Structure 1
Amino acid sequence: MRLRLVIATLALGLGSATRAEDLLQVYAQARAADPVLAAADAQLGIQREAAAQARAALLPQWQLSATETRDQQDGSRSRTLGSGISQTLFDLGRLRTWDAERALESAQDLRVRAAEQALCARVATAYFGVLSAQAALATTQANEEAFSAQVAQAQKRFEAGLSAQVDVDQARAYHALARGATQQARQLLADAREALAELTGHPPGELKPLSAALPATLPQPAQAQDWVDAALNTNPQLLAQARVVDASEQRIGAARAAHWPTFSAGVESTRHSGAGVSEDQRVGGTQLTLRLTVPLFAGGASQSQVRQAGYQRDLARDDYETARRALVRETQAQYHAVVSGVFLLDSSRAAVAAADQALASTRAGQGLGTRSMTDLLLAIQTQAAAQNAHDEARHGYVLARLLLLQAAGALGEPELAAVNQLLGDH
């Protein structure tokens, strides 16, 4: 299995050198290598075994025993071979413990589903984080080149006596700031790529960007409360916490059952051999036993265990309420992020168009002497800011839709595939 994973990883690495990777390919790599999801699966296995062990205490128990005795005076030896089978007929404490372990198994199964959805969200966040960082770097590089050209132009105009030294100094100041912004953008891109590599286990290749034509629609259903209701009913992390509350209730029942009698049946047989053992003893015998155990006093431990289980139940309820409130807030926040994203896409697109037009007009005006160097530098800076805002709005809108689906408990590979259709070539 490990060899196949290595081969698959190498194949994906070779493929990335020839063509860009998309969101689904990156998700497949992360699913095969993510330790968080693997840990959730391992924890589910642990809890399944705990439930199996709790059930085993209610099933028949069979034991064999062998004893050898040696007399120190005459050196004779005698042996005893015993066999015993017992079956619990009534033990409320063990039954409630089994119920609690099964509830915790169900909770962990839901946590695995939540981890799968969280992996989808983490992959999408890291993927679009790289795309945003790439777009920001491209914009700052273009900005730096534009300011560099303005430095050269200002220097020529100054040498020709058409402008003052202050125009050259101002252009150089903007160019120096742009160089710093470019270096910072490179660092942010490197960090974004490392964040994606943390999920997949290897450095990412070239990523497919969002296509230029990005449809933007409001959430359906249209009301935030509908999304909140869906989240409260289907979010696996919240449902898992509800199962933990159920398990804590069963723990209280198990603790209270310490006051109840237990009833069991058994069959025991023995056979003796060796010196000094009569013929009747050699044959041995079989006994059928019925055992009733009535607890009378345990030094207060039983009552203490009941109180302890009650506190644990209260803690589980408080954790559930905390998770419920956080989920309501997160769902509403992501809903409003999608709604805002639709309007931000429109406004930022209009801002880019206006900034492009303003930059073109300012360049023409400077050539005619009606606009100053300061006007042109500010126009270049405004155009870069508008482009950055539009790129952030595009990536933020798509990511907000996915995070809203995660809050509602409806995020999976099909939803990633739908987003994957929005990707295109450079």
Structure 2
Amino acid sequence: MKSRVLLLSMALGVSGCAVGPDYHPKPAAELGVPETWSVPASQTREDLTRWWSNFDDPILSELIDRAAAGNLDLAQTVARLRQAREALVISRSSLLPSLSGSGGVNRTETLRGGGTTVTLPDGTVTTTGNGGGSTSFSLGLDASYQADLFGGVRRSVEAGKAQYEASGYDYATTLLSVESEVARNYVLARAYQAQLANARASLKLQDDNLQIAGWRVQAGLVSSVDAEQARTSRAQAAAAIPQIEQQYNAAVSRIGVLTGQPPGALKPLLEDVQPIPTGPETVGTGIPANVLRQRPDVRAAERNLAAATAQIGVARAQLFPALSISGNIDTNAAAFGSLFETITGGLFAGLSQAIFNGGRLNAQVRSSRAAADAAFAAYKQSVLTALEDIENAVVALDTAQRREREYAIAYDAANNSAILARSQYRSGLTDFTTLNTQEAALVSARNGLVQARADRATALVALYVALGGGWDSEAPPTDLPAMTPNTVEDITAGQGER
């Protein structure tokens, strides 16, 4: 008995070594992260968890909050995060023994024959009884344990934990994408509202011009060419309005779907015309190394590398002996009350070692190493892409700000020219072609200013997202967020199990 206890304690305690490489985070220099940016950028770091509040637009904040709670892409990533969590539970269960119980009742009856032959005193032979029946009871307990001698199971748990964390970062990556998409379409919706106002104001001017040209033609001051040019300009201005209305509808519909609602659900909320959100002039980008912590896609790639490294140990453990231990306790009796009078037990320990497998196990090790090399390349690529996104967004914001300033000057000049040209045309000091040219320049400058303001807001959103804003990078990546879309349990509640 002592030898059996000793064998079991040895099996449970021989998990001190784990084959395969241990994962260590890569330094920034090995990943190609420079010390400073190659473009002018602020080195200060700011809290970007709720960057949209910097635009000081309550409707934008409300829309992003709705999307975070109801977006269906996010609901899918939450489901995948739950799957990864349960996969980790399954991996951890392999570290523990398995135990199962059994019980049974056996009843036998003689259906034919089996009676007793008796000769009576008068010489008569008769058969009595039919052999009767019997009942037996049994109980059993079986246990088994696969000793993790070389850490294959522990490496599997290590890989599962890293994949679980990577799924959490994947959720954050999707969240940032949804937030930026809502903000971008919101900016577009406000820009289209401004363009619609411009187009309708231009149409009103063209109506006035057509009326003035008609009066001058009737007065014999100009030929009918002026009236036809005015009609052409008026029709072109009117034709621009339906296209902008279609673009506005598409942006608003997209926001509705991003928040998990029908396309037209948010039209009442957005129908009041509001200016394009501006936001701050500058954003603190911090140092380039910040992307290793702030960008969730970079952290997901790092966790995937950790999982791939652990899988090398899982594959290498298959090359070494495997120890399995099993035991059982059984009892059988003809009566239930006598079940525990006699108890039997057994213990078995087995050692197995792969001798020939055609190179399969070694190939699995090499394959795992190749997968880890690919994961490292993907990790480094994600870092470089993040740096590229940030620098491009910094430059885009700067150029949009400069364009906005120039378009403001152009709009002011074009507006003054158009006012002067209209006054001169009314007085007969210039022709309609000059008036039409000046007003076309005014429309172009006005729409250019709107587009520059929209580009500036969009570039600001892109920079916030490129920096990894929109989530709490200090929180555990595996915290399951609350989502409003129905789960399978919600749908089947009250219907019973199928």
| TMscore range, shorter length | 0.7 to 0.9
Q: How does 1:108-257 map to 2 (within 5 A)?
A: 108-200=167-259, 201-202=261-262, 203-204=265-266, 205-207=268-270, 214=278, 217-221=281-285, 228-257=288-317
1:28 aligns with 65
2:495 aligns with none
1:421 aligns with none
Candidates 101, 105, 117, aligned match of 2:160: 101
2:126 aligns with none
Spell out, residue by residue over 1:267-312, the C-alpha distance to the aligned partner (whole angstroms, 9 max, x if none): 421112359xxx9997132334444333333443322322332343
CA distance in 2: counterparts of 1:323 and 1:252, whole angstroms: 22
Aligned to 1:58, the other structure's residue is in SS state coil
Candidates 383, 392, 406, aligned match of 1:347: 406
Spell out, residue by residue over 1:236-261, the C-alpha distance to the aligned partner (whole angstroms, 9 max, x if none): 01110121121111112101110122
- Cα 1:405–1:305 change in 2 (3 A) is same
Aligned length: 387
Q: How does 1:290-305 map to 2 (within 5 A)?
A: 290-305=349-364
Spell out, residue by residue over 1:14-60, the C-alpha distance to the aligned partner (whole angstroms, 9 max, x if none): xxxxxx97111212222232101111111111100000110011012
Candidates 370, 390, 393, aligned match of 2:452: 393
Query: Quick check: 212-221 or 179-188, which moved more?
Result: 212-221
Aligned to 2:351, the other structure's residue is in SS state strand
CA distance in 2: counterparts of 1:123 and 1:408, whole angstroms: 17
Candidates 306, 330, 333, aligned match of 1:270: 330
- Cα 1:280–1:381 change in 2 (3 A) is closer
1:367 aligns with 426
TM-score of the aligned structures, taking structure 2 as reference length: 0.70
Which amino acid in structure 2 is aligned with residue 179 of structure 1?
A
CA distance in 2: counterparts of 1:326 and 1:309, whole angstroms: 25
Instruction: For residue 121 of structure 1, report the CA deviation from its aligned partner.
Output: 0.9
Spell out, residue by residue over 1:93-138, the C-alpha distance to the aligned partner (whole angstroms, 9 max, x if none): 2111111110001101111222222222121112111111111111
Query: Quick check: 134-143 or 280-289, which moved more?
Result: 280-289
Question: Is 2:418 the partner of 1:356?
Answer: no
8 Å CA contact retained: 1:216, 1:342: no
Candidates 318, 328, 338, aligned match of 1:258: 318
Instruction: For residue 334 of structure 1, report the CA deviation from its aligned partner.
Output: 1.0
Instruction: For residue 78 of structure 1, report the CA deviation from its aligned partner.
Output: 5.8
Q: How does 1:271-350 map to 2 (within 5 A)?
A: 271-274=331-334, 283-350=342-409
Query: Quick check: 65-74 or 170-179, which moved more?
Result: 65-74
Gaps of 5+ in 2: 1-56, 115-132, 473-498
Question: Is 2:82 the partner of 1:59?
Answer: no
8 Å CA contact retained: 1:256, 1:306: yes
- Cα 1:232–1:358 change in 2 (3 A) is farther
Query: Quick check: 364-373 or 259-268, which moved more?
Result: 259-268
- Cα 1:227–1:333 change in 2 (3 A) is farther
Candidates 127, 131, 140, aligned match of 1:82: 140
Question: Is 2:461 the partner of 1:405?
Answer: no
- Cα 1:395–1:349 change in 2 (3 A) is same
Aligned to 1:287, the other structure's residue is in SS state strand
1:422 aligns with none
2:74 aligns with 37
Instruction: For residue 212 of structure 1, report the CA deviation from its aligned partner.
Output: 8.5
8 Å CA contact retained: 2:403, 2:452: yes
Instruction: For residue 328 of structure 1, report the CA deviation from its aligned partner.
Output: 2.7
2:18 aligns with none
TM-score of the aligned structures, taking structure 1 as reference length: 0.82
Which amino acid in structure 2 is aligned with residue 257 of structure 1?
A
- Cα 1:209–1:219 change in 2 (3 A) is farther
CA distance in 2: counterparts of 1:155 and 1:237, whole angstroms: 64
CA distance in 1: counterparts of 2:73 and 2:343, whole angstroms: 58
Identity of aligned residues (%): 24
1:47 aligns with 84
Which amino acid in structure 2 is aligned with residue 237 of structure 1?
D
Query: Quick check: 317-326 or 155-164, which moved more?
Result: 317-326
| Structure with the bigger percentage of helix | 1
8 Å CA contact retained: 1:79, 1:274: yes
Aligned to 1:411, the other structure's residue is in SS state coil
Instruction: For residue 219 of structure 1, report the CA deviation from its aligned partner.
Output: 3.7
Gaps of 5+ in 1: 1-19, 414-426
8 Å CA contact retained: 2:137, 2:339: no
CA distance in 2: counterparts of 1:234 and 1:196, whole angstroms: 26
8 Å CA contact retained: 1:144, 1:182: no
Instruction: For residue 314 of structure 1, report the CA deviation from its aligned partner.
Output: 3.7
Instruction: For residue 412 of structure 1, report the CA deviation from its aligned partner.
Output: 4.7
1:4 aligns with none
